Amino acid sequence: MSVQNLTTAFLSTLDSCPAAAGRIEYCDTELPGFFLEYRTKGKGTYYFRYRNRGSRARQMRLGKLGEISLADARAKAYRLHQQVSAGENPQHQGSGEMPSLAQFVREHYLPYAKDHKRSWSTDETLLRLHLLPVFGEKPLDQIQRQEIATLHRRLKQQGYAAGTCNRILVLLRFLFNCARRWDILPATTTNPCSGIPAFADRGARERYLSDAEVKRLLTQLDKSRHQQVARIVKLLLYTGARRSEIVNARWEYIDLEQQVLTVPLSKSGKPRHIALPDAAVKLLREIPRQADVPWVFHNPKTGKPLVSFYCAWNSLRKAAAIPDVRLHDLRHSFASFLVRSGRSLYEVQKLLGHYDPKVTMRYAHLSPRSLVDAANIAAQIIGG
């Protein structure tokens, strides 16, 4: 955080302002609570921060840098400052009425999600397709638990997977928690999603390729005319990496001597290092490079990473007589080969980049022989 007199002259220097930490708050010296959150690549957002009657810190988004002028943002912050000084709650001002779910999502939740959640687009899709058509026009404080339970059950009856139904319920619960945390709903309000049980998710799919299926797939990959897609599929098999980790790989992330592919920002939010076996290194060395394209795999017309190659993959899996296999199943298969060959679950966890070892435990049932071997060792020690 930095204290700064926010002026147009100061804003003009922001392009050269260091942002090594990813974000910097510039708090205005003249108007308490008014600040600019500045991020890398010239992105910034104006906010007003205050404390409610319970002395809890709250902040309201005023607008994005470049979309609202400094003068307008300051004027908004000044009006909010006056309301707080008068003992009012700014987030309950305006029409004097409780916002509808659609209004809350549009004015509060999505701006917050876009700034703080990498998966905000998934939230937006679930809201647009499932929640807003049902509850969008209803005030937040009039959405009842029974209505939510009915929607949850109806989605299941319509054929949606248990995981999808539960994900929608979790999102709605989070929205209500945000509304309470931001003082749009009273803090004493009970979350209407509380007490609604999630469906048992027994549909979690675990499809593993057999040795014969792998041979058939590799045969089709070798003779496919879609060699770029074939190389992607081979790397998924060789490394157990996620699709996005291979498709978005850049040459600068690859160290062929150390045999490692670095993913700067993985699913866990941290850098991840993917081990490259000899077969993967050989494959990468054979890929022709273009000096002006940093991506390992790219669209030859745009020079950008591949967006979709479903048709090519679908043709390959059908030709290999494995039409039900998804690209993500190659990751499961990589893990299954490791476990069946006697490698420890710890090694599998590290190779797959699982942050939580509980996720890796799904493969434990694939190694009953190793468990028997371990039990035999213990029995031999006990028996002298």
Residues 248 and 356 in one domain: yes
DSSP one-letter code for 139: B
- Domain-embedded: residue 52: yes
Higher pLDDT, 230 or 93: 230
Identify the H or E element spanning 44.
strand 44-51
For 319-339, write each residue's pLDDT tens digit: 999 999 999 999 999 988 888
- Domain-embedded: residue 325: yes
Residue type, 382: I
Within 10 Å of residue 243's Cβ, how many Cβ atoms?
Answer: 17
Q: Which domain CATH number covers 262?
A: 1.10.443.10
Q: Which range in 88-92, 180-184, 256-260 is most confidently predicted, on average pLDDT?
A: 256-260
- Supply φ then ψ for residue 138, to 5 degrees: -85, 135
User: By the 8 A CB rule, do 126 and 171 touch?
Assistant: yes
Q: End of a domain among 46, 73, 92?
A: 92
Higher pLDDT, 292 or 59: 292
Residues 290 and 261 in one domain: yes
Q: Give the per-residue pLDDT at 203.
A: 54
Q: Give the per-residue pLDDT at 204.
A: 59
Pairing outcome for strands 2-4 and 23-28: parallel
> What's the mean pLDDT when you consider all of the chain?
86
Higher pLDDT, 238 or 95: 238
Residues 84 and 218 in one domain: no
Percent of the chain with pLDDT over 70: 89
Please give the order of strands across the beta sheet that includes 34-39. Answer: 2-4, 23-28, 34-39, 44-51, 57-64
- Supply φ then ψ for residue 115, to 5 degrees: -85, -25
Q: Give the per-residue pLDDT at 95.
A: 42
Residues 123 and 236 in one domain: no
Percent of the chain with pLDDT over 90: 46
- Domain-embedded: residue 285: yes
DSSP one-letter code for 295: B
Least confident span in 56-70, 78-92, 211-225, 296-310: 78-92
Residues 233 and 340 in one domain: yes
Q: End of a domain among 159, 181, 203?
A: 181
Q: What is the CA radius of gyration of the chain?
A: 27
Residues 130 and 29 in one domain: no
Least confident span in 44-48, 115-119, 285-289: 115-119
Interatomic CA distance for residues 152 and 195, integer angstroms:
12
Q: End of a domain among 40, 66, 92?
A: 92
DSSP one-letter code for 157: H
Higher pLDDT, 23 or 303: 303
Q: Give the per-residue pLDDT at 94.
A: 45
- Domain-embedded: residue 253: yes
DSSP string covering 214-229, please?
HHHHHHHHHH-S-HHH
- Span 33-60, mean pLDDT? 80
For 50-94, write each residue's pLDDT tens digit: 887 666 777 888 888 888 889 888 988 998 888 888 777 666 554
- Domain-embedded: residue 205: no
- Span 203-216, mean pLDDT? 84
Residues 307 and 165 in one domain: no
- Domain-embedded: residue 71: yes
Identify the H or E element spanning 384.
none
Higher pLDDT, 155 or 89: 155
Domain residues for the domain of 7 are 2-92
- Span 236-264, mean pLDDT? 93
Q: Per the structure, how many domains does the chain have?
A: 3
- Domain-embedded: residue 77: yes
User: By the 8 A CB rule, do 169 and 196 touch?
Assistant: yes
Q: Give the per-residue pLDDT at 96.
A: 47
User: By the 8 A CB rule, do 289 and 251 touch?
Assistant: yes
DSSP one-letter code for 177: H
Higher pLDDT, 183 or 42: 183
Sign of CA dihedral 310, 315, 317, 322: positive
Residues 350 and 223 in one domain: yes
- Span 187-213, mean pLDDT? 84
What pairs with residue 50 in β-bridges? 58
Residues 62 and 40 in one domain: yes
Q: Give the per-residue pLDDT at 17.
A: 53
For 349, residues 6+ apart whose C-beta sits below 8 A from its C-beta are: 357, 359, 360
Residues 242 and 149 in one domain: no
Q: Give the per-residue pLDDT at 277.
A: 93
Distance of CA 113 to the CA centre of its chain: 11
Residues 293 and 365 in one domain: yes
Q: How confident is the model at residue 251 (pLDDT cuts 50, 70, 90)?
A: very high
- Domain-embedded: residue 206: no
What pairs with residue 25 in β-bridges? 37
Higher pLDDT, 64 or 128: 128
Q: Which domain CATH number covers 79?
A: 3.30.160.390
Residues 164 and 269 in one domain: no
Interatomic CA distance for residues 277 and 96, integer angstroms:
63
Cα–Cα nearest to 239, from 257, 221, 218, 261: 261
- Model-level pTM? 0.55
Q: How confident is the model at residue 20 (pLDDT cuts 50, 70, 90)?
A: low
The owner of tokens 């060959």 is 341
